[in-house]
């Protein structure tokens, strides 16, 4: 069985490890995200004594995942200090001569969930993470969605909640979905961290109102067979029933499918791969690279 090197490149940490082509994790380590020089130095050192056939890299965005593009393999314009215009795949290729697949962490997670997780066996799966930022990836007809670049479903524009005066904190759009509903937005609006607000119903009602609106848009545009929601904020499990209820109310019977009308508890779900969805997503990307071998 082929051995896959996998990197989940996140804004706070890089998870590096080794897995197999059936999605199993053999080992993994965590490296803090500081500067590209320091972090990539440690990443390269970690893999230098390992043997593997291919490498999968799932990254925070925005990135350029489009093969043949001039900036393929780069992290592009990110507000994250030091990382703008960093040639991630170029740097890795200097050290490791194996086929590599590069995509967003969330596209990788969507693929992994469609193979080995909550969407096993389905060809149309949406994965959304609600954490420090909001990102979503999609598998459509068995393939990760890509076009001009990768989708940016965390930055869609929404109708504001009638009681919400928070201006939003996305540096690009202020009150896009990420700007009003990611973990740091919850903290800025309510003055406490999400986990400290667990008992305050109003917080999760507003959060569910926004997340449900986003899901309704994704459902109407992409028609996913399963929606998988992960990330730190979704640890507040009371969000799920609220989100499901708002999705049903908002669609108002328009999408006549039993998955939504009757069985929504199994349609909008927590990741089957749990907290591993992102890292196993990078193993899934490595499996795509195997096809190039
Ligand atoms: P990242 O997005 O950086 O990969 P996480 O998915 O853990 O990491 O997201 C971190 C964000 O999620 C923070 O804003 C944090 O406050 C929030 N968060 C983490 N755990 C919880 C929790 N149990 N309840 C509510 N919010 C949480
Ligand atoms: Zn935005």
Residues 285 and 259 occupy one common structural domain: no
Residues 140 and 206 occupy one common structural domain: yes
Contact by Cβ (8 Å): 76, 85: yes
Residues 197 and 279 occupy one common structural domain: no
- Whether 293 has a pLDDT exceeding 90, the answer reads no
Q: Which atom of ligand 1 is nearest to the CA of 193?
A: 16
Tokens of 223: 């028609």
Contact by Cβ (8 Å): 128, 175: no
Residues 123 and 266 occupy one common structural domain: yes
- Whether 59 has a pLDDT exceeding 90, the answer reads yes
Is residue 259 domain-resident?
yes
CA of 79 to the centre of ligand 2 (A): 11
pLDDT, position 292: 81
Q: What's the whole-number mean pLDDT along residues 190-212?
A: 98
Tell me: the pLDDT tens digits for 145-161?
999 999 999 999 999 99
- 52 CB burial (10 A radius; 0-12, 13-18, 19+): middle
Residues 123 and 261 occupy one common structural domain: yes
Residues 150 and 48 occupy one common structural domain: no
Q: Which atom of ligand 1 is nearest to the CA of 132?
A: 2
Tell me: the pLDDT tens digits for 243-271?
999 999 999 999 999 999 999 999 999 99
**What is the number of the ligand closest to the CA of 168?**
2
Within 6 A (CB) of ligand 1 lie: 10-12, 131-132, 183-184, 193-195, 231-233, 235-236
Tokens of 272: 């089957």
Q: What is the CATH number of the domain that holds 286?
A: 3.30.420.40
Tell me: the pLDDT tens digits for 62-73?
999 999 999 999
Atom 3 in ligand 1: which residue has the minimum CA distance? Answer: 132
Residues 41 and 76 occupy one common structural domain: yes
Is residue 57 domain-resident?
yes
Mean of the per-residue pLDDT values of the chain: 97
DSSP string, 163-191: T------BTTTBSBHHHHHSHHHHHHHHS
**What is the number of the ligand closest to the CA of 194?**
1
**What is the number of the ligand closest to the CA of 179?**
2
Atom 8 in ligand 1: which residue has the minimum CA distance? Answer: 131
Q: What's the whole-number mean pLDDT along residues 18-43?
A: 98
Residues 62 and 128 occupy one common structural domain: no
Contact by Cβ (8 Å): 132, 124: no
- Whether 79 has a pLDDT exceeding 90, the answer reads no
Tell me: the pLDDT tens digits for 216-225?
999 999 999 9
Tell me: the pLDDT tens digits for 86-141?
999 999 999 999 999 999 999 999 999 999 999 999 999 999 999 999 999 999 99
Is residue 112 domain-resident?
no
Give the C-alpha separation, 134 to 42, whole Å: 27
Residues 38 and 149 occupy one common structural domain: no
Is residue 160 domain-resident?
yes
Residues 36 and 77 occupy one common structural domain: yes
CA of 231 to the centre of ligand 1 (A): 6
Q: What's the whole-number mean pLDDT along residues 176-195?
A: 98
Specify the pairing of strand 134-140 against strand 125-130.
antiparallel
- Whether 191 has a pLDDT exceeding 90, the answer reads yes
Q: What's the whole-number mean pLDDT along residues 226-232?
A: 98
Q: Is 29 helix (H, G, I), strand (E, B) or coil?
A: strand
Is residue 111 domain-resident?
no
CA of 207 to the centre of ligand 1 (A): 14
Specify the pairing of strand 143-144 against strand 226-230.
unpaired
Domain extent at residue 71: 3-105+275-292
Residues 263 and 192 occupy one common structural domain: yes
* Pocket probe mutation, ligand 1, options 232, 238, 273, max atoms within 8 Å of Cβ: 232
- Number of independent structural domains in the chain: 2
DSSP label of 18: E
Residues 164 and 258 occupy one common structural domain: yes
């Amino acid at each position: 069985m082929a051995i896959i090197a996998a990197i989940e490149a996140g804004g706070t940490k890089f998870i590096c490890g080794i897995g197999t082509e059936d999605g199993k994790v053999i080992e993994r380590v965590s490296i803090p995200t500081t500067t590209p020089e320091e972090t990539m130095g440690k990443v390269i050192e970690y893999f230098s004594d390992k043997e593997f056939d291919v490498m999968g890299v799932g990254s925070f965005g925005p990135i350029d995942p489009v093969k043949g593009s001039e900036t393929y393999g780069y992290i592009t314009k990110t507000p994250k200090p030091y990382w703008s215009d960093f040639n991630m795949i170029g740097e890795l290729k200097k050290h490791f001569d194996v086929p590599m697949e590069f995509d967003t962490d969330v596209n990788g997670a969507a693929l992994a969930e469609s193979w080995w997780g909550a969407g096993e066996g389905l060809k149309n799966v949406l994965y959304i993470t609600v954490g420090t930022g909001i990102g979503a990836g999609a598998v459509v007809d068995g393939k990760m969605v890509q076009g001009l670049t990768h989708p940016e479903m965390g930055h869609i524009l929404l109708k504001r909640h009638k009681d919400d005066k928070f201006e939003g904190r996305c540096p690009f759009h202020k009150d896009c979905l990420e700007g009003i509903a990611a973990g740091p937005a919850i903290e800025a609006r309510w003055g406490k961290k999400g986990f400290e607000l667990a008992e305050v119903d109003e917080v999760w009602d507003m959060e569910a109102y926004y997340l449900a609106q986003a899901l309704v848009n994704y459902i109407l545009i992409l028609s996913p067979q399963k929606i998988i929601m992960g990330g730190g904020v979704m640890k507040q499990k009371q969000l799920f029933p609220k989100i499901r209820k708002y999705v049903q109310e908002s669609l108002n019977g328009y999408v006549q499918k039993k998955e939504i009308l009757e069985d929504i508890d199994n349609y909008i779900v927590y990741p089957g791969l749990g907290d591993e969805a992102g890292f196993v997503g990078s193993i899934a990307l490595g499996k795509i690279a195997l096809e190039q071998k």
